[in-house]
Amino acid sequence: KITKKKVLITGGAGFIGSHVVRLFVTKYPNYQIYNLDALTYAGNLENLKDIENHNNYHFIKADINEEDELHRLFSKYQFDSVIHLAAESHVDRSIEDPKIFIKTNVSGTINLMDAALSTWKSDFNNKLFYHISTDEVYGSLGEEGFFTETTSYAPNSPYSASKAASDHFVRAYGETYNLPYVISNCSNNYGFNQFPEKLIPLFINNIIENKSLPVYGDGKYTRDWLYVLDHARAIDKVFHEGRKTETYNIGGFNEWQNIALIQLLCKLMDKKLDRAEGTSEKLISFVKDRPGHDKRYAIDASKIKRELGWEPSVNFEEGLEKTITWYLENADWIKGVTSGDYREYYKKQYNVD
Ligand code: NAD
């Protein structure tokens, strides 16, 4: 029986990480939760303001690319488990600059595992390295079928290639050095605290500001969407009950073509903003496709349901409404994260001011 755990969560100031940190800090008061984050453009401690004073929460500003620092931290704090979310996470940025994705996502993951191994030595009792990954490692589906845990990897973007490589290294560390690990691969997340370069917050923000809604290609790309709190609940399950050396797919059984999703978002936003129906849809503008764009992702999440009893709980329209309300009520958060560098990136990416 676990009595006291020292859990290192990396990337806890980011979108998904902040929800995982909050869940663990509040649900497990007898654990010590260490949030390690380099605070890149995507990391924001505002995301954790409400729990920063809990006495089982600790923030460590550090970079997973700093090997010596990681060794020092592991030997100082003696973490017994790791939930690894820190990563470069945006596909478009990976197309612009792939190397930072290799550095952080691949080498950074290896640095963390090395630090864990050097502290744990061969005492793996109650130890766990939990690697958080994406369904994008599986590549693209046709009209039919789902990704399962045994689908071959076929990543198409530098982002997904870097995540695929990191998954392989985690598995290899398990086989070669007996690192106790578990991996989960999740579909697209949405919800509050998501950086507004990602589709849903980007479009909510643009609708608020009456700016155009840049849709890639014909908009017929299909994604499976999961509310971020459902993902955090799944991570809790896998962390505590997942079988070592296994992979679990996590998804919402909730497929949407981009254009249909955007139309739904426009409809909900018109209602929320008291605008005439159809106002926001007029902002849609089709832009040049992203290279290597995967047509369809769909996750078969039946293994985690069967083995661990997890399934998504938040209905999509409800989740979207909650998300929209949060972005409307937190204009300062958006202003804070979109000033500076992001403005330049956005101009370049979409060729607009
Ligand atoms: P995010 O970009 O919002 O957050 C990433 C966090 O990692 C940020 O806080 C950032 O400061 C930190 N970070 C980046 N480089 C770092 C470094 N070198 N050292 C320490 N910290 C660093 O990302 P997210 O959307 O929350 O994704 C988190 C994880 O979940 C990633 O591993 C991602 O691949 C995976 N994932 C995301 C989705 C999704 O839909 N967003 C879906 C499946 C899996």
Q: Which domains does the chain have, with CATH numbers?
A: 6-190+224-250 (3.40.50.720), 199-222+256-294+316-341 (3.90.25.10)
Q: What is the pTM of this model?
A: 0.95
So what's the pLDDT on residue 345? 73
For the chain, how long is the longest CA-to-CA vector?
65
So what's the pLDDT on residue 353? 60
Which residue, by CA, sits nearest to atom 35 of ligand 1?
133
| Cα 86 to ligand 1 centre (Å) | 5
- Give a three-class secondary structure readout of 162-229: HHHHHHHHHHHHHHHHCCCEEEEEECEEECCCCCCCCHHHHHHHHHHCCCCEEEECCCCCEEEEEEHH
So what's the pLDDT on residue 113? 98
Please state, in angstroms and rounded to a whole number, the distance separating the CA atoms of residues 309 and 342. Answer: 40
Residue 108 CA: which ligand 1 atom is closest?
A: 18
| Cα 275 to ligand 1 centre (Å) | 35
Q: Is 136 a catalytic residue?
A: yes
Helix axes 316-329, 199-208, angle to 10 degrees: 50
At a CB cut-off of 8 Å and minimum separation 6, what does 351 contact? none
Q: Which of the residues in the chain have pLDDT under 50?
A: 1
So what's the pLDDT on residue 340? 66
Is there an atom of ligand 1 within 6 Å of 224 CB? no
CA dihedral sign of residues 326, 328, 329, 334: positive
Is there an atom of ligand 1 within 6 Å of 107 CB? no
Q: Is 123 a catalytic residue?
A: no
- Rounded to two decimals, the ipTM of the complex is 0.99
Residue 190 CA: which ligand 1 atom is closest?
A: 40
What DSSP element (H or E) covers 98?
none
| Cα 40 to ligand 1 centre (Å) | 10
Which phi and psi (to 5°) does residue 256 adopt?
Answer: -140, 135
Angstrom distances, CA of residue 153 to CA of 12, 134, 140, 162, 304: 27, 11, 10, 12, 19
Please state, in angstroms and rounded to a whole number, the distance separating the CA atoms of residues 161 and 276. Answer: 43
Is there an atom of ligand 1 within 6 Å of 14 CB? yes
DSSP state of 192: T
Q: What is the pLDDT of residues 246-265, one digit of tens each?
A: 999 999 999 999 999 999 99
At a CB cut-off of 8 Å and minimum separation 6, what does 287 contact? 214, 215, 216, 350
Residue 135 CA: which ligand 1 atom is closest?
A: 43
Judge contact between 255 and 316, C-beta under 8 A.
no
Judge contact between 183 and 131, C-beta under 8 A.
yes
Per-residue tokens: 318: 């409800």
Which residue, by CA, sits nearest to atom 29 of ligand 1?
85
Please state, in angstroms and rounded to a whole number, the distance separating the CA atoms of residues 83 and 27. Answer: 16
Q: Is 135 a catalytic residue?
A: yes
So what's the pLDDT on residue 226? 98
Residue 193 CA: which ligand 1 atom is closest?
A: 3
Per-residue tokens: 22: 């909050």
Q: Is 125 in a helix, a strand, or coil?
A: coil
Task: Count other Cβ atoms within 10 Å, centred on residue 334.
Answer: 18
